């Protein structure tokens, strides 16, 4: 033990808030891939209670909890994006895991963090997400995005400390769309995806009467989860969206036939996309976009057109 300490822990190194080399070894020995020996966890908790923060040098560099995060570069960072990005402090103990603490840098307001043992509670299988490596937000487009920025359905979240997140792949026999929550020192940023460009909807009023149809031409703001409900296995998410749509209004004749009006209009609207994943289903589906206001119709909602 003494030779090991002399080799890996220099005698002239000062540890702030750590009393002995044995305590440093305990910190280094306990990892998501180790089996805790009796008393290890209790000792670790005691150390965390005595020292609220750990000296960075007390950790060996590891994928799940890099103590020295890379410095952010000011290159390719726009002023607006820099204002939106925040550094978030996360604690594994908040989710009942080991008392590890993480810092996720450059997290935008609509994104959800995943790092080490910590997986944001809003990240839920069955819903589609876009994923990027966390860090400084830049204007390089999709350079930091997984799968070229394509949104994929999260199929499962594994158990344990290093949790495997598996997404739907384009092929069934060889799925390569997965990673572990502790495989990136700076963490991951998830953003939910509810509405696609080119998607078509029917316009319904408060009485569910069909008044027209729309086609999504552009999505302007990031799609941001507003709230989530989970009742008896049924998960419902509400996602704020801002869209520009090509709107075609219906005109009803007195004899009951419906005729499309000759002109179409471009409208930019905001609403709440309602996504539901039933208990017996592996995928969530978009039920409607509610709280829409159109100048010609007033308050209405968009319902997916499956025809």
pLDDT in tens, 223-271: 999 999 999 999 999 999 999 999 998 876 555 555 556 457 899 999 9
Whether residue 153 is found in the same domain as residue 208: no
Strand residue runs (E) in the chain: 86-91, 101-107, 112-115, 118-119, 128-133, 152-157, 164-167, 178-180, 188-192, 200-204, 210-219, 224-231, 234-252, 258-277, 285-294, 298-304
Domain boundary pick from 192, 210, 237: 192
- Domain total in the chain: 3
Domain with 10 in it? 2-58
Whether residue 87 is found in the same domain as residue 168: yes
**At residue 4, does pLDDT exceed 50?**
no
> What's the CA gap between 282 and 133, in Å, rounded?
26
Q: Quick one: what percent of the chain has pLDDT higher than 90?
A: 50
Domain boundary pick from 192, 208, 224: 192
144 occurs within a structural domain: yes
Whether residue 241 is found in the same domain as residue 186: no
- pLDDT confidence band for 208 (50 / 70 / 90): very high
247 occurs within a structural domain: yes
71 occurs within a structural domain: no
**At residue 54, does pLDDT exceed 60?**
no
Whether residue 87 is found in the same domain as residue 185: yes
**At residue 182, does pLDDT exceed 70?**
yes
> Taking residues 32-42, what's their average pLDDT?
53
pLDDT of res. 136: 52
> What's the CA gap between 265 and 249, in Å, rounded?
9
70 occurs within a structural domain: no
* CB atoms closer than 10 angstroms to residue 134: 29
Whether residue 83 is found in the same domain as residue 177: yes
- pLDDT confidence band for 66 (50 / 70 / 90): very low
Whether residue 204 is found in the same domain as residue 256: yes
Whether residue 272 is found in the same domain as residue 219: yes
Whether residue 126 is found in the same domain as residue 172: yes
74 occurs within a structural domain: no
> Taking residues 59-85, what's their average pLDDT?
41
Whether residue 85 is found in the same domain as residue 185: yes
| Average of per-residue pLDDT values in the chain | 77
The overall pTM is greater than 0.75: no
List the structure tokens of 156.
């499962």
Residues 152 and 128 sit within 8 Å (Cβ to Cβ): yes
> Taking residues 57-66, what's their average pLDDT?
35
pLDDT digits (tens, 9 = 90+) for 139-181: 544 458 899 889 999 999 998 888 999 999 988 788 999 999 9
297 occurs within a structural domain: yes
> What's the CA gap between 27 and 15, in Å, rounded?
13
Whether residue 33 is found in the same domain as residue 102: no
**At residue 18, does pLDDT exceed 90?**
no
> Taking residues 195-222, what's their average pLDDT?
94
> What's the CA gap between 61 and 65, in Å, rounded?
7
Residues 200 and 215 sit within 8 Å (Cβ to Cβ): yes
66 occurs within a structural domain: no
Whether residue 208 is found in the same domain as residue 296: yes
> What's the CA gap between 250 and 234, in Å, rounded?
35
- Tell me, rounded to whole angstroms, the distance of Cα 186 from its chain centroid: 14
Cα 202-207-208 angle, rounded to 5 deg: 25
67 occurs within a structural domain: no
Q: State the DSSP string of 216-246.
A: EEEE-SPPEEEEEEEETTEEEEEEEEEEEEE
Whether residue 97 is found in the same domain as residue 130: yes
Domain boundary pick from 192, 218, 233: 192
> What's the CA gap between 220 and 236, in Å, rounded?
23
pLDDT of res. 143: 52
* CB atoms closer than 10 angstroms to residue 103: 17
């Amino acid at each position: 033990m003494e030779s090991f300490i002399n080799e890996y822990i220099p005698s002239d190194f000062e540890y702030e808030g750590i009393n002995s080399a044995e305590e440093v070894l305990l910190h280094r020995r306990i990892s998501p891939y180790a089996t805790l020996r009796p008393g290890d966890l209790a000792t670790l908790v005691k150390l965390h209670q005595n020292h609220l923060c750990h000296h960075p040098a007390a950790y060996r560099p590891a994928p799940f909890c890099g103590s020295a995060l890379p410095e952010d570069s000011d290159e390719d960072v726009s002023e607006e994006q820099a204002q939106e990005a925040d550094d978030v402090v996360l604690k594994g103990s908040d989710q009942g895991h080991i008392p590890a603490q993480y810092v996720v840098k450059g997290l935008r307001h609509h994104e959800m963090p995943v790092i080490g043992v910590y997986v944001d509670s809003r990240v839920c299988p069955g819903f589609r997400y876009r994923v990027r490596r966390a860090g400084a937000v830049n204007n390089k487009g999709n350079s930091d995005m997984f799968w070229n920025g394509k949104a994929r359905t999260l199929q499962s979240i594994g158990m344990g400390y290093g949790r495997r997140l598996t997404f739907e792949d384009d092929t069934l026999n060889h799925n390569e769309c997965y990673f572990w929550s502790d495989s990136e020192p700076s963490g991951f940023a998830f953003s939910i995806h509810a509405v696609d460009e080119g998607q078509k909807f029917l316009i319904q009023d408060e009485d569910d009467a069909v008044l027209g149809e729309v086609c999504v031409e552009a999505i302007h703001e990031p799609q941001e989860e507003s709230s989530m409900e989970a009742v008896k296995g049924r998960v419902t998410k509400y996602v704020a969206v801002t869209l520009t749509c090509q709107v075609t209004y219906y005109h009803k004749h007195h004899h009951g036939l419906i005729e499309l009006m000759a002109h179409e209009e471009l409208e930019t609207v905001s609403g709440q996309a309602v996504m539901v994943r039933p208990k017996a289903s592996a995928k969530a589906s978009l039920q409607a976009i509610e709280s829409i206001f159109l100048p010609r119709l007033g308050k209405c909602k968009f319902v997916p057109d499956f025809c």
